[in-house]
Structure 1
Amino acid sequence: MDSDARNHYRFRSLWALPAAPPAVFAALERPEDYPRWWPQVRSVSRLDENTGVITIRSVLPYGITSTMRQTRRDRAAGVLEVALTGDIDGWARWTVTADGPGTLARYDQEVDVRKALLRRLAVPGRPLFRLNHRLMMRAGRRGLLRHLQAV
Structure 2
Amino acid sequence: MRTHYRFGHEWQVQARPDAVRALLEDVAGYGAWWPGLRVLADASTPSRRAARLEVRAPLGYRIRFTLTESSVDRHELRALLRGDLEGWCMWRVVATRGGSRVVFAQEVEARSRLLRLASPLLHHRLAGQHAALLGAAADGMRRALADGEGAPGQRVGAP
TM-score, scaled to structure 1: 0.91
- 2:16 equivalent in structure 1: 20
Q: How does 1:37-116 map onto structure 2 within 5 Å?
A: 37-49=33-45, 50=48, 51-74=50-73, 76=74, 78-116=75-113
Distance 2:29 2:44 in 1: 15
Could you give the per-residue CA deviations for residues 42-96 of structure 1, whole angstroms, max 9, x where no partner exists? 224212232321111120111111111211122x2x2111011110000000011
3-state SS of 2:125 partner: helix
1:133 aligns with 2:120: no
1:10 aligns with 2:6: yes
Asked whether the equivalents of residues 14 and 146 of structure 2 are also in contact (C-alpha less than 8 Å), the reply is no
TM-score, scaled to structure 2: 0.87
Q: Percent identity of the aligned residues? A: 32
Asked whether the equivalents of residues 65 and 87 of structure 1 are also in contact (C-alpha less than 8 Å), the reply is yes
3-state SS of 1:48 partner: coil
The letter for the 2-side match of 1:58 is A
Structure 1 residue runs of 4+, over 6 Å off?
none
Distance 2:146 2:82 in 1: 33
Distance 2:40 2:14 in 1: 26
Distance 2:102 2:29 in 1: 17
Q: Which sections of structure 1, spanning at least 5 residues, go unmatched? A: none
CA spacing shift, 1:44–1:144, aligned 2, 3 Å: farther
Aligned residues: 145
